[in-house]
Amino acid sequence: MSTQTPNTGGPPWPTVPVAKKAAAAGTAPPPPPPPPPPPQKPVNPAFKYLGLPNLRAKIPSKPWLIFIGITTTWGALVYYDRREKRLALEKWCKKVEHLAAQPLPSNQLPRKIKIYIAAPPGDGISAGRDYFKEYVKPVLVAAALDYDVIEGRRGGEVRTAVGENIRRWRRRRGEKGSSGAVLTSLEGGPGAAEVEIGDDLAEIRRTMGITHEVDEDEGGVMVIGRHTWKEFLHGIHEGWLGPASSQVPPPTPPAPPTQDQPFTIPKTQTRLPIASPTIKPEEYANADLPPSFPHASISLPVASPVVVIPFPHMLGFLNTPIRIYRYLTQRHLADRVGRECAAICLGYSRPFDAQAAEIDVGVYPEEESDWGKKYRSLPEPEEVKEKVVEVVAPPAVEEKKEEAVVSADGEDGLKILEVKGGKKEEGEKAAETKKPVEELSESERYKAALRRDAGEWAGEIVADPRILGRLRRYELPGDEASEMS
């Protein structure tokens, strides 16, 4: 019995695939047809008519999201803080700008204040200058207030300047000083009146009828920073409780010109020599007040009333988080500084609160935590001896070697205490000679400057009650401050 294959429409004989035929013939197979194109997304008509491509929205990658988030957050914080800082300064400038609009006679000088700035611990005077220009100067300029800035680049310069100003005021009131230092005698023989350097300008003003809106010695004082405040207080006590004679040597007069050497203009002295302290804090109570002390006045001239401006200044890599926070919150500091500047411009003052120790606790004691440990503790006597130098006696004298000790003192910062060659007799003292600054190494200069600055800024604030009772502080009243806030 036979079976029949169903007819499928093809030839009844077996067929060979085309690919096998092409391979057998030696030709390549035809390429497959391309896939159909994907359907186009609708084009934005606005992009189409402007000739722009169809932009597709795409989420940035993870690194880009982190970068954009950090930069945007930082920029927003900085922008917000600077805007609020500018508005805070503008607020206090508007409160005092009416003082600039007040008329002033042509023969009258405006009120003038003295500003004391010292280099912050561990930094230079440029930091204090930038701080003054950024926070203090705008308010003073808005009030049209004249000022004289006294800078202290080294520890002790502000103390010396304050003491000299007070001693000069005392000599002008009749106390006798050293006429060989900064005083010159008028013609008239012994006993003639002594005239201070600079009084000729005051005499010219009196002759021409030029007066001051406020007496020059009572215009007010501004002290920037707690370290400057400590030097300022030391200078006040030295000026009122110490001698009236000047402690600063006069400038060397120029040599007379000769035929071989023509006359040249001498260089001006840019730095005030640092005078040694004339009185120690433990001696304040036993010192007598000078005869010219203003007992009847409610405030001390030259040094009061005073306003203390906060000056936070922190250094160090490990303090970077705190420094970043302060960088992003400068608006609060601007408001505090503007309030103090407005107080001295408007002239509101009150006595220091002696019961609450405001002279110490109320003058930003938190700033000392920003200083390095080296500036917060007084140098111990054994720490003063930093280097021992052997001094060989002359060959003619057969004596053993003596020792010299480098110590901090004077304006140059270092001296050498050496023993002369030969045997010391009983009670004989060591000879003291200065070592030029050029011969010192960088480490010796740094250690000397560190000991000098620590001696000025470290330790507790000590004030004599007789001096403290005459000090006044600029401060806005409660009602006035609330209205201005």
Averaged pLDDT, 458-468 = 80
Answer whether 313's CB lies under 8 Å from 120's CB: yes
Contacts of 19 (CB under 8 A, 6+ apart): 29
- Write down the pLDDT at residue 36: 86
Averaged pLDDT, 330-337 = 93
Answer whether 365's CB lies under 8 Å from 457's CB: no
| Of 132 and 23, the one with more pLDDT | 132
Confidence of residue 224 (pLDDT cuts 50, 70, 90): very high
pLDDT 10s digits, 435-447: 555 566 666 666 7
pLDDT 10s digits, 354-392: 776 777 777 888 888 888 777 777 666 544 444 444 444
Of all helices (H) and strands (E), which one includes residue 75? Answer: helix 62-100
Confidence of residue 70 (pLDDT cuts 50, 70, 90): very high
What is the torsional sign of CA 331, 133, 349, 89?
negative
What is the torsional sign of CA 185, 187, 192, 194?
negative
pLDDT of 220 above 60: yes
Lowest mean pLDDT among 188-202, 208-222, 242-256, 470-484: 188-202
Confidence of residue 270 (pLDDT cuts 50, 70, 90): low
- Write down the pLDDT at residue 183: 39
Averaged pLDDT, 153-173 = 84
Averaged pLDDT, 100-119 = 87
- Write down the pLDDT at residue 388: 41
Lowest mean pLDDT among 1-5, 257-261, 372-376, 386-390: 386-390
Confidence of residue 425 (pLDDT cuts 50, 70, 90): very low
- Write down the pLDDT at residue 252: 66
- Write down the pLDDT at residue 321: 92
Report d(CA 114, CA 39) in Å as an integer.
81
Q: Which residues of 347-368 are buried (b: 16+ CB within 10 A; e: fewer)?
A: ebbebbeeeeeebbeebbeebe
pLDDT of 411 above 50: no
pLDDT 10s digits, 190-214: 333 444 555 677 778 788 888 877 7
Averaged pLDDT, 298-321 = 86
With 0-12 CB in 10 A as exposed, 13-18 as middle and 19+ as buried, what is 130? exposed
- Rg, C-alpha atoms of the chain: 40
Q: Which residue has the tokens 């993870």?
A: 62
Q: What are phi and psi of 338, to 5 degrees?
A: -60, -35
Question: Hey, what amino acid is at 385?
Answer: K
Average model confidence (pLDDT) for the chain?
74
- Tell how strand 183-185 and strand 194-196 pair up: antiparallel
Averaged pLDDT, 10-34 = 65
Answer whether 371's CB lies under 8 Å from 457's CB: yes
Confidence of residue 23 (pLDDT cuts 50, 70, 90): low
Lowest mean pLDDT among 12-26, 140-154, 251-265, 362-376: 12-26
Confidence of residue 69 (pLDDT cuts 50, 70, 90): very high
Supply the pTM of this predicted model: 0.71
pLDDT of 75 above 90: yes
- Write down the pLDDT at residue 138: 92
- Write down the pLDDT at residue 79: 95
Beta bridge partners, 404, equal 389
Lowest mean pLDDT among 24-33, 43-52, 215-224, 373-382: 373-382
Q: Half-sphere exposure of residue 159, counting CA atoms within 13 Å on the CB side?
A: 25
- Write down the pLDDT at residue 445: 65
Q: What are phi and psi of 115, to 5 degrees?
A: -120, 125
Q: Residue 27 corresponds to which tokens in the numbers above?
A: 């030709």
Report d(CA 467, CA 233) in Å as an integer.
10
Lowest mean pLDDT among 10-19, 25-34, 424-433, 467-476: 424-433
Taking 3-state DSSP, the helix, strand and coil percentages for the chain, each rounded to the nearest 5, stand at: 40, 10, 45
pLDDT of 151 above 70: yes
pLDDT of 101 above 70: yes
pLDDT of 82 above 90: yes
What HEC string does 317-376 produce?
A: HHHHHHHHHHHHCHHHHHHHHHHHHHHHHHCCEEECCCCCCHHHHCCCHHHHHHCCHHHH
Q: What percent of the chain has pLDDT over 90?
A: 16
Beta strands of 183-330 (E only): which ranges? 183-185, 194-196, 211-212, 221-224, 306-309
Contacts of 165 (CB under 8 A, 6+ apart): 114, 239, 302, 303
pLDDT of 180 above 60: no
Averaged pLDDT, 102-118 = 87
What is the torsional sign of CA 458, 460, 466, 467?
positive
Report d(CA 276, CA 281) in Å as an integer.
14
Beta bridge partners, 221, equal 114, 306
